[in-house]
Structures are given as structure tokens and as C-alpha cells.
Structure 1
């Protein structure tokens, strides 16, 4: 016969008593107002508070967003990490923090699609809501795109890390900066040159930070795709989520035919960005995780095309 195991029943105090056991106390007498209009508004105190503040706001806000893309998937949902700020005059004690997230929720209820036009409207409305002359939003998110293997055509999903930084100023208008960080394959030219056979390669990370012109039209071109192509088309080879043997043969041979130092990578990507009419300034960085060293190899190039006009 099966034996049924029984356990002694522990009699627990009621939940409220358990809370008291672990330190909870009864509410204290309350004397301060409970209605908003009767409460003190410290943020709106007007005095000379010594210094203007460059930026004040909220950061590390995680929020669902919708991304439009020229590459599949053309409409995708992702999670954005958001920072909102505005300046603050010395005559104001503080900003109203709740208005930043209030503004975000208003846009979310309408469908928060992340594009430059939407973020421009967002910052202008945020400045007006805060009763300030300026406002800034910085939004970072992973962007996913389909990648087909070169021989078999089998598809998978890759991703790049993207940031959009939009600022509004009532006197100077908008400033738009974008960034994309993607991974590539690089094969060492020196290793190929000195070795009897083979060459070592590594995975490199290309980061491109760009300033966009006021007339950039996001409806005719996708800046994410343009930056990704600038990085990948200059690499020894692209990365693929799915590779069969014929694909792997093509990728490794392509890498061998296109050796790249980190110095080569930043110069080649810089040349592509220089030729993009909507990019007014840029910084290109490359970091290679060396396969035969413990250290990484790094290089960067910065250029401001606006200086050419002076």
C-alpha cells in the first residue's frame, strides 16, 4: 500500500500581524494637503539659484517602440532606452520630471513610431510642455534586419545597435545626430602577407556617429540602411546568421581577397560617409577583437564637412 506522508501544520499569524512582525507600523497622523492645488510646488520656486543648468531630466527609461525599416522586417517592435533633458535657467529651482514621461505616454498611446520627424515634433512639444526654450531626446535601440547567405540564400536575422539624438532649440531649430554600431569580419593584411598559407581574422565592430543636414528626407532613404552598408561593404566580409558549406566557402574566400587593418576600415567607411550629401559631420571608430592577441586593435577618424565651406 502507498504510504501518505503527512507534515505538521504550522499556524501562521495573519498577514497584517506578519507585516508588524517584520517592522511595519501604523500610518502616522497626516497634516499636509492632499490636493495638488494646495501642495507646495518647489520646482516652480523663482529665485536666483546661482547657475543655469545645461541639462536636467530623466534617463534609462525603457519603453516599447515601433521602428520602420527599408530592410525586412519593415515594421518591427523593439525596446528603446530613452533619455530626456532640457536646460534650466538659474531663476528656476527645478524642472517638472513627470512631464517627461507624461509626454512619452501621450506619444505611446498614439503609436510611438521612431523616426526623425516624430522625434522633432516630440522635442518641440516637450519644450513647450516644460515651458523651456529647448528639449532633447536620446533614444537607443537594437535594429533587426534580414540577411541572406550568399550561396544558399537561406535567411536569418542580424542586428545593429542604433541611437538617435534629436535636440530642439527655439532660436536655432533642430540638431539631429545618429549612430549605428555593427559587427563585421576583418582579415589581417600583415598575416596574409607574411604567412605561407592562411591568415588570421577577427570580428570587428564599426561605430559611425553622424550629424544630418536639415533637409534630410527620411521618407526617401533609410539612414540606418545607409550606415550599415557603409560599414559592411568596406569590410573583409559580412556576418551571416545562417551559413551552409558553400556559403562558408564564399565568405572565407571573400575575406581572404579583401584584407583590412582597423586603419583601412575607418578610412574606407569615412570615404563613404563623406560622399553622402546628407551627412554634415561624422566620426568612424573600429575595434577588432584580435584572434591571436589578448588585446583589441582600435582606430578612429573624425571629419566635419562644414569646415570645408569656410
Structure 2
């Protein structure tokens, strides 16, 4: 029979004594007012503070959000990372930081669905709450979408990283910038050309940042789905969370039939974005994590369609 082990118990000082042992002290005298109306408000001090500030606010605010999508799942809950700011002129010492999170909570209580219409309203309301001429909201989150195997039809979840930035100005209105980063497959054309058989491929990342027209109607088309298609349809092949052997055969053969340099990918994605009427300006950044080199391969394009229109008119 196993012997029962007896554990001796230390005699510890009580919790208050332990706190005192590690540096806690008794509260000192309280001489400053506790009522908000009697407290000094340093942030609202008015004086010449030398410089206007482009942006003042808070960042790295994590909060649950709801995202709507044309792809399954049509509605999903995810975590958004927020940044809120506004400009202030040199006559103001600072801003009221608590008002940013107060507004976030107010929108959350109404059900914070992340779409362009809601974010434009948020930015406008925030400028009014701060009593400033402008305000900006930026939110980043993972967007999940269902992807099925091309032969087996077995489904799983892929995701892309989304960032939306909405700036409201009392005189200029709203400007909207959206970004998506998506993973794809590319197969090296040079390797295919020079090798007797096979060709090396790699995982690539396509990041697209687009400026959207203010009147873009998100209810008639989902910009997330359109940007995702621009990245994936121009790659050698798409990525899949679930692949059986017949799927793998189809995907690898598709990649072999559609070789892409990183430069090719950037230009093909740019062509799709150029043809989207609701995109006024775009940047495409492509990166291949090379499978037989020690380096990554990169390419980028920045294009302003409005400047192109002006040059043609001139």
C-alpha cells in the first residue's frame, strides 16, 4: 500500500502584511477634488502651443466586430484592431482620449457591423463629439471565407487580412481607403523553361490598397470579394485549406499551366484594379517567398487613375 505523504503548510503573514512587505503603503491625505466639475482639465487648455498636430488619438484598440460578406460565412464575428484620431490646431493642448472609446462602445451597443456606410457615420459623429473639423477611423481584421476543393468539393476556411481607413473632413467629406492582403501560389516561368521536368513554386502574398469613390454602393457589390478575385485569379493557383489527392493534382497542374513571375503577378492584378470603376487609386505589392533561393522576390505598382484622366484631358 502506498504511503500517504504529509505536506507541511507554511505560516504566511496575512494579505495586508504581505502587500506591505512588497512595498504597499497606507493611503496619503486626499486634498484634490473628486467631482469632475471641480477637476482641472489640462487637455482643454487654450494657448499658443507652437504647432498644429496632424493626428492625435489612440491606437491598438481591440474590439469584437461583425463582418458581412457575399461569401460564406455571410455573417461572421471577428476581432478588429482600431485606431482613432483627429487633427488639432496649435491653440489646443490636447484631445479628450476617453471620447474615442465612448463612441466605440456606443456603436457596439447598437451592433457594430463593419461596412463603409457605418464607418463613414462613425468618423462624422466622432468629429462632432470631439468638436474638431476632421476625424479618422482605421480598423484591421481577419476576414474568413469558405474555399472548396476543386475536385472533392470539401470545404474549409481561408482568410485574408483587411484594413479600412475612413477620413471625414467637414469641408471635403469622406475619403475611403481599403486594403487586402491575400496568399496565393506562383510557379516560376524560368524554372519551367529551363528544366527538363518540374518547376519550383512558392507561396506568394498580394497586398492591394485602393482608394474608393465616396459614392461606392457596398450593398450592390462586395469590394472584399472583388479584390480577392483580383489577387487569386491572376496567380498560378489558389490556396486551399482542404485538398485530397484529386484536388492536389488539379491545383499543381493549374499552377504549371499558369507560370508567373512576381512582376507578372503585380501587373495582372493592377490591370484588374484599373478596370474597377469604383477604384480611383491603387497600389499593388507582391512578395514571393522563394522556395530555392534565400531571398524573397518583390514587385509593386502605384497608379492614380484620376491623374491619368487629367493628363489625357490636358
TM-score by length of 1: 0.99
1:4 positional shift: 1.9
Q: Could you tell me which residue of structure 1 aligns to residue 122 of structure 2?
A: 122
Measure the CA separation in 1 of the matches of 2:252 and 2:2. 64
SS at match of 1:60: strand
Aligned pairs (5 A) from 1:112-191:
112-191=112-191
Q: Could you tell me which residue of structure 1 aligns to residue 63 of structure 2?
A: 63
SS at match of 1:253: helix
1:25 positional shift: 0.2
1:11 positional shift: 1.1
1:2 positional shift: 4.0
Measure the CA separation in 1 of the matches of 2:191 and 2:185. 15
1:309 positional shift: 2.1
User: For structure 2, which runs of at least 5 residues remain unmatched after alignment?
Assistant: none
1:8 positional shift: 2.1
- Matching of residue 49 in structure 1 with residue 49 in structure 2: yes
Measure the CA separation in 2 of the matches of 1:219 and 1:96. 35
Aligned pairs (5 A) from 1:14-25:
14-25=14-25
1:226 positional shift: 0.4
Q: Could you tell me which residue of structure 2 aligns to residue 303 of structure 1?
A: 303
1:158 positional shift: 0.2
Q: Could you tell me which residue of structure 1 aligns to residue 80 of structure 2?
A: 80
Q: Could you tell me which residue of structure 2 aligns to residue 294 of structure 1?
A: 294
Measure the CA separation in 1 of the matches of 2:17 and 2:172. 61
SS at match of 2:263: helix
Deviations 1:201-254 (A, max 9, x none): 000000000000112100000000000000000000000000111100000000
1:270 positional shift: 0.3
SS at match of 2:176: strand
Measure the CA separation in 1 of the matches of 2:151 and 2:3. 64
Number of aligned residue pairs:
310
TM-score by length of 2: 0.98
Deviations 1:136-159 (A, max 9, x none): 001000000000000011100000
SS at match of 1:248: helix
Q: Could you tell me which residue of structure 1 aligns to residue 97 of structure 2?
A: 97
Measure the CA separation in 1 of the matches of 2:9 and 2:91. 65
User: For structure 1, which runs of at least 5 residues remain unmatched after alignment?
Assistant: none
Measure the CA separation in 2 of the matches of 1:249 and 1:22. 65
Deviations 1:150-197 (A, max 9, x none): 001110000000000000000100000000000000000000000010
